[in-house]
Structure 1
Amino acid sequence: MAPESAVGALHQALAGDATLLTVADVDWQRFAPAFTVRRPSPLLGELADVQRALEQHHHGVDGGGRGGDAAAQLRARLASASESQQNRILLELVRAEAADVLGHATADAVRPRRGFVELGFDSLMAVEVRNRLARHTGLRLSTTLLFDFPSPAALAHHLRAELAQELSAEASTSVTAVLSELERMLSGLSTDDVDGVDITERLQGLLTTWSGAQVRLASPPPEAGEPTAAAMDSDLESATSDEMFDLIQREFGKF
């Protein structure tokens, strides 16, 4: 202990006239979350320093770090990666952080399917890894994270599932924002200033492509004997004008 702290504790001990006294220099910000990781502690629960430490811990780490550079960089990598690549990226992250907390020079010692407890993790180490992953991902992560998902592979799979939902929501929000901006720009344009035909054709082409993708997602696979989309496209290409008009009239009626 620092001399100032030790002398101050000695003064309190002599002045308090306690029959049994323990003096300890505790980093509550680090110790309290780990000590209460599985259940609240009646021994420490009424200490003001512990209450402040737990409150700051929950509001700080559980609040996520979505604005942080590390989280932004990771999310950018994941957004442009396939599902298998996302799993690999997150597994590498979990193994690297776990290895660092355990004191290993590389992540090789952290086997993907080996349990964290078997690897030598205690509650303090588990909370430290959880805090690091919260900063890297920007997710709200439970204090019992490493006990709920007890191996690096299981934890990486969980992180990917959580991030996939947020990335999908963020992408949808971004597309909506871009469409709103496009709508604003088009409403302010004059047909004298731009090639309206070219813009219209490109917008119609984009809408056709998008509509076709949605139909493919929603449509069930063709049954046996039912013509495929490729076959129908081929028939349309070889159809005469009269056959095309007959098809339009059957499908949409007269207009």
Structure 2
Amino acid sequence: TMSHGWGYAADNGPGRWCENFPIADGPRQSPIDIKAGEAEHDAHLQPLRLRYDPAASIDLLNNGHSVQVTFADDSDSSTLTEGPISGTYRLKQFHFHWGACDARGSEHTVDGTEYAAELHLVHWNTKYGSFAEAASQSDGLAVVGVFLQIGEENLHLQTVIDAFNSIKEKVRQADDLPNLTPASSCPHRWTTGPTDGSLTTPPLLESVTWIVCREPISVSSAQMEKFRILLFSAEGEEPCCMSDNYRPPQELKGRRVRASFK
């Protein structure tokens, strides 16, 4: 059993999650492998409208599974509207998944290809009263996934990366942040979605509309190294390097994948 909670190791990793979270084998689990040639072109998919207020970022946290930036979500200062979703979704947090080396780390894959990391911008549907309430509704959450591809240094990301030293261990939090912007708005040219899916970490709730951007943002190899100084472990515990914190692609189980591209 996973008495010490879920994680990404052999004894508590994705292959074991179904023991405590049976929905892990459910009909709309994420991530998925996006087969570009099989995605249905949908000419009616409108571009996403992302509006983010960097001043609304509250804190940067090592939660023992990833590094997460939380946003104030008591107003519509940071929102996701239009595009493939209806209504207004507020940004709650963004976080990353990455590998122990640059050749892997993303959760979604495109024709089997993995990227070095994946940024997730997590939003909740304001027709519900709160993030917590929305998280259990089938249309409660919308997550924008952005791939990080090795290339030029990314200055937008550097602001976040600079704070990693102060949150190396689990439950470490940095509050005195410079204004953090999500790495870049989603390129409009090539997004999937919306695809019905789930959270990619326990409790794996099937409440997520996924929008994955095909066009990656850049990150340098040196910047990726900085992600790997973070630890899964808390202060005073045996240090355990935080990497390979991704769930592999799940079966489509008959879901359609639409795309705003040909």
- Normalising by structure 1, we get a TM-score of 0.20
Higher-helix-fraction structure? 1
Higher relative contact order (CA 8 A, sep 6+): 2
Higher-strand-fraction structure? 2
